[in-house]
Amino acid sequence: MRVRNLLASVLLLLSLAACETYTAVSAGQSVPVGEGVTVTAVGDWAAVSKQFVGNEGIDAMWTVDGPSINQLLFFSRVENGEPFMKSLNKKVNEDLPTWRVGMTEPDVMELVETTLAKVYEAPIVTATNLRPQVFLSSPGFAFEFDMVTKTQLETKGLVIGTQQNGLLRMMIYLAPKMHYFALHEDTVRAIAASARAGGSS
Partner 1 sequence: MDFTRRHLLCGCAATALTGCVSQGGGSRIQAGHAPTLDSVEGGLWDIFNRAEADLKFSPLRMTDEELNRYVSDIACRLAGRHCADMRVYLVRTPFFNANMAPNGMMQVWSGLMLRCQNEAQLAAVIGHEIGHYLKRHSLQRFEQIRDSSTVAAFLGIAIAAAGGGALANLPGLVALANIFAFSREQEREADGIGLELMVNAGYDPVQASEIWRGLIEERDAGLTAEEKRDQERQRDVFFASHPAPADRAQALALQAAAFPGGKRIVGEDRYLAQARAFRDMMMQDELRLQQYSRTLVIIERMKVANPGDADPFYYEGEVYRSRNDGIDSGRAMNAYGRALELDELHGPAWRGIGILHRRAGRQDKAAEAFRRYLELVPGAEDRLMIQSYVGA
Compose the 66-85 pattern: x for residues touching partner 1 by CB under 8 A, - for all others.
--------------------
- H-type alpha helices, 43-104: 90-93
Binding part of the chain for partner 1, among 17-25, 49-57, 67-75, 92-100 by CB under 8 A, reads 92-100
Decide: residue 41, CB within 10 A, 0-12 exposed, 13-18 middle, 19+ buried: buried
Indicate the SS3 state at residue 98: coil
How near is the Cβ of 152 to partner 1 at its closest, in Å? 6
176 interacts with partner 1 by CB under 8 A = no
CA distance to 98, 181, 192, 199, per residue, from 111 (Å) = 7, 22, 20, 27
C-alpha–C-alpha distance, residues 159 and 139, integer Å = 14
How near is the Cβ of 20 to partner 1 at its closest, in Å? 32
Among 33, 41, 60, 113, binds partner 1 (CB under 8 A): 113
How near is the Cβ of 113 to partner 1 at its closest, in Å? 6
Beta-carbon contacts of 102 under 8 Å, excluding residues fewer than 6 positions away, are none
Interface ranges with partner 1 (CB under 8 A): 95, 97, 100, 102-107, 109-110, 113-114, 117-118, 123-126, 128-132, 141, 148, 150-152, 154
